[in-house]
Amino acid sequence: AQSVTQLGSHVSVSEGALVLLRCNYSSSVPPYLFWYVQYPNQGLQLLLKYTSAATLVKGINGFEAEFKKSETSFHLTKPSAHMSDAAEYFCAVVEAGGTSYGKLTFGQGTILTVHP
């Protein structure tokens, strides 16, 4: 069974500061990992994904994440926060192979607030 834990339901940063959103996963087989962003009253938009290629993954809007197997982590970072980054962020995992059905398992989400 697979699961995702996002540490911190709320993260607050100042504009221009480093953004760090934490995600740890549990999976019985090699996982694919994803970060999605959700703006109020909207669906989910894919920020980036890890699918067993390079461990450092770059996504849209200046975000990146590093897959660390030894730590079972996939933390999301951005060097300099922008006001438009304020949203809710979800980490998700899917098992690569087997009978996963493409079922995404999501974490509880982290709400990012950016202060001027």
Partner 1 sequence: ETGVTQSPTHLIKTRGQQVTLRCSSQSGHNTVSWYQQALGQGPQFIFQYYREEENGRGNFPPRFSGLQFPNYSSELNVNALELDDSALYLCASSLGSGASYNEQFFGPGTRLTVL
What does the binding site for partner 1 look like in residue numbers (CB under 8 A)? 4, 32, 36, 41-46, 49, 51, 90, 92, 94, 96-109
Sign of CA dihedral 113, 77, 85, 33: negative
- Cite the beta strand spans of 15-102 per DSSP E: 19-26, 31-38, 44-50, 56-58, 64-68, 73-78, 87-95
For partner 1, give the closer residue by CB, 22 or 49.
49
* Closest distance of CB 79 from partner 1, Å: 26
Q: By C-alpha distance, which of 53, 30, 29, 44 is closest to 109? A: 44
* Closest distance of CB 49 from partner 1, Å: 7
For partner 1, give the closer residue by CB, 41 or 70.
41
* Closest distance of CB 34 from partner 1, Å: 9
Alpha carbon distance 14, 12 (integer Å) = 7
For partner 1, give the closer residue by CB, 4 or 81.
4
